[in-house]
Amino acid sequence: MASAVNNPVTSEDIAYFASAGIEMIHSDNKLEDRFNADMFDKYFGDSQLALFPKTAQQVSTILAYCNEHHISVVTQGGNSGVAGGAIAHNGEVILSLRDMNKVREIDSVAGVIVAESGCVLEDLDNFVQEHGFIMPVDLGGRKRCMIGGNVSTSAGGLRYLRYGSMHANVLGLEVVLPDGRILDALFSLKKDASGYDIKQLFIGAEGTLGVVTAVSISLAPKPRSSQIAVLGLNEFSKIHRAFVLARQNLGEIVSAFEFWEKRCNEIVVEFEKYD
């Protein structure tokens, strides 16, 4: 099997992207750490070029050109991951979706939102709450992570017990394939038995099959109230029992069930400087 070719970016490549009206940041050395480092400064890259498309057509232009010229691409959203998946370790071009941040549509009757991949999760959650809904997925990195990255990593998050992962909530996708073709599967029907469920291939694929540029998501009704119970248990087996009892007596209203050890609590208190 022939090895993949990753050609370096040239001045001709940069001129082409500029002529296509695509915004960019370029460095003769390497870009600053906000593009080349993860949020915990654990993983570092050496990309010299970041592109900022505003439409799916511009993403198509970028991928078609890079595919033809054997230029590797790393897609980047909020760069809130902790595994280095959005870092250009080998000088790849960074394809940032931060400027694709529009809500295209919200259906307050069906409870469906269509949003572009660069929309920040917390912003979407605040927006849909004004319409009586919440996003079915919630993460600790909600202030930075973007919905396209949530889809591409099949995020589960804090509400997984009640609403499931992205596989359970995504209704449709708009995806740009590696050769630049645009796959429009941005459906919004909750009940659809029309054939192959193509979107599921891209959920959790982390951009290896294509770049997600927009997503249609089923929303959850905003709860009228929420409660948090903190229990102190002295045996791990009792945690199992508490979980079973919660599911039996509270049913589907349980959104989350988490546990932490005493030492974890001590570390948080020390780090946050709580009294």
What does the pLDDT average to over 63-74? 96
What is residue 156's predicted lDDT score, i.e. its pLDDT? 84
> Could you tell me if 139 and 155 are in contact, meaning their C-beta atoms sit under 8 angstroms apart?
yes
Residue 113 is encoded by which pair of tokens?
A: 């939102």
- With cut-offs at 50, 70 and 90, classify the pLDDT of residue 255: confident
Does pTM top 0.85 for this prediction? yes
| Percent residues over pLDDT 90 in the chain | 66
For 14-65, write each residue's pLDDT tens digit: 999 999 999 999 998 889 999 999 888 889 999 999 999 999 999 999 999 9
Considering only residues 102 and 193, tell me which one the structure prediction assigns the higher pLDDT.
102
Residue type, position 273, single letter: K
For 161-173, write each residue's pLDDT tens digit: 889 889 999 999 9
> Could you tell me if 67 and 18 are in contact, meaning their C-beta atoms sit under 8 angstroms apart?
no
Pairwise CA distance, residues 247 & 253, whole Å? 9
Residue 185 is encoded by which pair of tokens?
A: 């599967």
Contacts of 201 (CB under 8 A, 6+ apart): 209
Which has the closest alpha carbon to 253: 235, 218, 217, 229? 229
For 126-180, write each residue's pLDDT tens digit: 999 999 999 999 988 899 999 999 999 998 888 888 898 899 999 999 999 999 9
Sheet holding 182-185, edge to edge: 103-107, 112-116, 211-218, 170-176, 182-185
Query: Is residue 103 packed enough to be buried (19+ CB in 10 Å), middle (13-18) or exposed (0-12)?
Result: middle
Pairwise CA distance, residues 71 & 46, whole Å? 15
Q: How confident is the prediction for the chain on average, in pLDDT?
A: 92
Cα dihedral sign, 107-112-114-115: positive
Which has the closest alpha carbon to 154: 189, 120, 202? 202
Considering only residues 253 and 219, tell me which one the structure prediction assigns the higher pLDDT.
219
CA geometry: angle 102, 145, 254, nearest 5 deg: 105
What is residue 5's predicted lDDT score, i.e. its pLDDT? 64
Whether 100 shows a pLDDT value over 50: the answer reads yes
Residue 158 is encoded by which pair of tokens?
A: 């804090």
> Could you tell me if 112 and 217 are in contact, meaning their C-beta atoms sit under 8 angstroms apart?
yes
- With cut-offs at 50, 70 and 90, classify the pLDDT of residue 1: very low
